[in-house]
Amino acid sequence: MNDLLTHLLPLAIGAAVSPLLLVIQILVLSGKNKPISRAVGVAVGAGVMLLGLSLAFLTLLSGFGQTPAGVKPDDVTEGLRIATSILLVVLGFRNLAQRGRPPNTARAEKLADAKWRAFVAVGLIIMLTNITTLVLFAPALHLITQAPVSKTDKLIAYAILFFITMLPLLLPLAVTVAMGKNAGKFLSKLHRFVTKHNAVISATVCFAFAVYLGYMAIAPYV
């Protein structure tokens, strides 16, 4: 279990570094009409989508469990890591090309008078389209499925992965509940910083984990 967590936590933290999720949640919490309830709605929607995507990933990954003759499961794992590394490099350069553009929060900004279910829908959509998070979440999930640990340990590892991935939505909510009106200034400063540097933050995460996963893929052969 310790070995699993050692390799899992970096991927989970990388998946959690999502300027888009953080900015939208702060934007929702800055509203005047039931901000906490609406932020909970966003978190619920994103959580449901993440659970659904987890099932989809598990279904897809189960197909890699039956490898062709002569192909080892470890070879499939390393191939997935290399493919993910390449995708992360592409995403990193795409993020750099978008430097100077704020995260797209148009959906959240149009919901001033919307009902609670509309914020659940926002959560569903932003998690589904948050590629930088999902591209790190998927190999972390694969890591759990391949780990030689008990089913209970795998469930615990998944719960940790799920919770950490959801932190960009849960932390602003927790800060608002804990600090009340005093949370406004802190979240406003955080919003400005993340909005200004979102492309660089995302690109840095992509490049860092491209190197990490690439190294993990080739290390057994060096």
pLDDT at 71 over 50: no
For residue 100, count other CB atoms closer than 10 A to its CB.
Answer: 9
**Position 66 confidence tier, pLDDT thresholds 50, 70, 90:** low
Q: What is the pLDDT of residue 18?
A: 84
The predicted structure's pLDDT at residue 100: 66
* Lowest pLDDT segment from 53-57, 188-192, 199-203: 188-192
Residue 45 has pLDDT above 60, yes or no: yes
Confidence at residue 165, expressed as pLDDT on a 0 to 100 scale: 95
Collapse the DSSP code of 210 into the 3-class scheme (helix H, G, I; strand E, B; otherwise coil) and give the result.
helix
Predicted pLDDT of residue 111:
62
pLDDT tops 50 at residue 68: no
Report the pLDDT averaged over residues 95-104.
72
pLDDT of residue 42: 94
Cα Rg of the chain, angstroms: 18
Q: How many CA atoms lie within 13 A of 25 on its CB side?
A: 32
C-alpha closest to that of 221 among 11, 79, 8, 88: 79
Question: Which residue has 């999902």 as its token pair?
Answer: 134
pLDDT tens for 108-144 read 556 656 788 889 999 999 999 888 899 899 889 988 9
105 pLDDT band, cuts 50/70/90, is low
Q: What is the per-residue pLDDT for 155?
A: 94
Do 206 and 92 contact (CB within 8 A), yes or no? yes
Q: Of all residues in the chain, what percent carry a pLDDT higher than 90? A: 29
For the ranges 49-58, 90-99, 195-204, the one whose mean pLDDT is highest = 49-58
Rounded Cα–Cα distance for residues 132 and 47 (Å): 16
Report how far residue 4's alpha carbon sits from residue 56's, in angstroms, rounded to the nearest whole number.
22
Three-state DSSP at 70 gives coil
Q: Give me the residue label for tokens 């992965």.
A: 161
Q: Can you say whether residue 125 is alpha, beta or left, with left for phi > 0 and alpha for psi between -120 and 50 degrees?
A: alpha
Q: What is the residue type of 77?
A: T
Q: What pLDDT, on the 0 to 100 scale, is given for residue 109? A: 57
Query: For position 110, what pLDDT does the model report?
Result: 62
pTM flag (> 0.75): yes
- 222 band by pLDDT with thresholds 50, 70 and 90: low
